[in-house]
A and B are shown apart, each in its own frame.
Chain A
Amino acid sequence: MHNLFQYVPGNSIIHRMNPITKIFLTIVICIAAFVSGNLLFLAGLLAVDLLIGFIAGIPEKTLTIFKGLLKIAIFLFVLQILLVRGGTPVFWIITDEGLLTAARVVLRLVIVCMPLALVLAVTRVTDLTNSLVQVLHVPYKYAFTLSTAIRFIPQFLEEMSGIMEAQTARGVAFDKAKGLKKFSMILPLCAPLLISSVRKTDLTAAAAEVRGFRLRTRQSGYKRYPFTILDLGAAAFCLLLLAAAILL
Chain B
Amino acid sequence: MIEIQDLTFIYKDEKKPALQDIRLTIPEGGFLGVIGPAGAGKTTLARAVSGMIPHHYTGDYYGSVTVNGMDTVETSLEDISRLVGMVFQDVDSQIISPVVEDELLYGLENFGIPREEIPQRIDEALQKVGIADLRERAVGSLSGGQRQKVAIASIIALRPRILVLDEPTGELDPRSSRQVFSLLKELNEEQRITVIIIEQKIMLLCEFARQLAVLSEGKIVRQGDTRDVLAHAEELEALGVNCPRVTTLSRAVSVKTGEEQPVCLNLDEAEAMVRRLIS
List the interface of chain A (C-beta within 8 A of B): 2-3, 6-7, 9, 124-126, 147-148, 150-151, 154-155, 200-201, 203-216, 220-222
Distance from A156 Cβ to chain B, minimum over Cβ atoms (Å): 11
> Which residues from chain A contact B57 at a C-beta distance below 8 Å?
206
Give Cα A89 to B232, complex, Å: 90
Whole-angstrom CA separation of A205 from B107 in the bound complex: 13
A207 to chain B, nearest CB (A): 4
28 residue pairs A–B, Cβ–Cβ below 8 Å: A3-B141, A6-B140, A6-B141, A9-B137, A126-B97, A126-B98, A126-B99, A126-B102, A126-B105, A151-B98, A155-B140, A200-B93, A201-B93, A203-B90, A203-B93, A203-B94, A207-B94, A207-B95, A208-B106, A209-B52, A209-B56, A210-B50, A211-B96, A211-B111, A211-B158, A214-B77, A216-B110, A222-B108
For the complex, give the distance between the alpha carbons of A210 and B136 in Å: 24
Question: Which one of A7, A206, A222 contacts B138 once the chains associate, using CB atoms below 8 Å?
Answer: A7
A207: B residues at CB distance < 8 A: 88, 93-96
Quick one: given A154-B140, A203-B94, A222-B118, are A211 and B107 in contact (CB under 8 Å)?
Answer: yes
CB closest residue in chain B, given A2: B140
Q: Which residues of A contact B102 (CB under 8 A)?
A: 124, 126
Interchain CB contact under 8 A, B158 and A204? no
CB distance from A224 to the nearest CB of B (A): 10
Q: Determine if A222 and B105 form an interchain contact, defined as CB atoms under 8 angstroms apart.
A: yes
Known: A6-B140, A222-B105. A210 touches B96 (CB 8 A): no
Nearest chain A CB to B259 CB, angstrom units: 50
Asked if A215 and B93 sit within 8 Å, CB to CB, the answer is no
A155 pairs with B92, CB closer than 8 A: yes
B125 close to A (CB within 8 Å): no
Q: How large is the interface on B (under 10, 10 to 19, 20 to 34, 35 or more residues)?
A: 35 or more
Task: From B78, B93, B115, B158, name the one whose CB has the most chain A CB atoms within 10 angstroms.
Answer: B93
Contact A210 B111 (CB under 8 A): no
Given A151-B96, A151-B98, A203-B93, also A215-B112 (CB < 8 A): yes
Residues of A within 8 A of B88 (CB): 203, 206-207
Residues of A within 8 A of B271 (CB): none
CA distance A210 to B97 in the complex (A): 15
Residues of chain A within 8 A (CB-CB) of B115 are: 222
Contact, CB under 8 Å: A9 / B136: yes
By Cβ-Cβ distance, the 3 closest A-B pairs, closest first, are: A212-B110, A203-B93, A211-B107
Find out whether the CB atom of A204 lies under 8 angstroms from the CB atom of B98. Answer: no
Chain A residues within an 8 Å CB radius of B98: 6-7, 124-126, 147, 150-151
**A206-B56 contact given A125-B98, A212-B78, A214-B78, CB 8 Å threshold:** yes
Give Cα A6 to B109, complex, Å: 23
Identify the interface centre among B95, B105, B138, B140: most chain A CB within 10 Å of its CB: B140
A208 touches B96 (CB 8 A): yes
Give Cα A221 to B88, complex, Å. Answer: 24
State whether A215 touches B92 (Cβ < 8 A).
Answer: no
Instruction: For B52, give its contact among A6, A9, A151, A210 (CB under 8 Å).
Output: A210
Known: A209-B77, A213-B110, A216-B109. 19 other contacts (CB 8 A): A7-B99, A9-B136, A124-B99, A125-B98, A126-B98, A154-B140, A206-B56, A207-B93, A207-B94, A209-B81, A210-B51, A210-B86, A212-B78, A212-B110, A215-B110, A215-B112, A220-B109, A220-B112, A222-B105
> CB distance B92 to A200 under 8 Å?
yes
In contact, A6 and B138 (Cβ under 8 angstroms): yes
In angstroms, Cα B51 to Cα A125, docked, is 29
Chain A contacts for B92, CB-based, 8 A: 155, 200
Q: Is the CB of B90 within 8 A of A212?
A: no
Question: A234 → chain B, closest Cβ, in Å?
Answer: 23
A221, closest chain B residue (CB): B109
Residues of A within 8 A of B52 (CB): 206, 209-210
How far, in whole Å, are A201 and B93 apart by their CA atoms in the complex? 7
Contacts of A125 in B (CB 8 A): 97-98
Task: Tell me the smallest distance from the CB of A71 to a CB of chain B, in Å.
Answer: 24
State whether A222 and B51 are in contact (beta carbons under 8 Å apart), knowing that A148-B96, A207-B93, A207-B94 are contacts in the complex.
no
Q: Which of B94, B107, B108 contacts A204 (CB 8 A)?
A: B94
Shortest Cβ distance from residue A56 to the other chain B in the assembled complex, whole angstroms: 16
Beta-carbon nearest neighbor of A204 in chain B: B93
Q: Which of B15-56 contact A (CB under 8 A)?
A: 50-52, 55-56
Contact of A211 among B93, B106, B136, B141 (CB under 8 A): B106
Chain A residues in 8 Å Cβ range of B154: 211
Residues of chain B within 8 A (CB-CB) of A124 are 98-99, 102
Cβ of A7: which chain B residues have Cβ within 8 Å of it? 98-99, 138
Q: Which residues of A contact B110 (CB under 8 A)?
A: 211-213, 215-216, 220
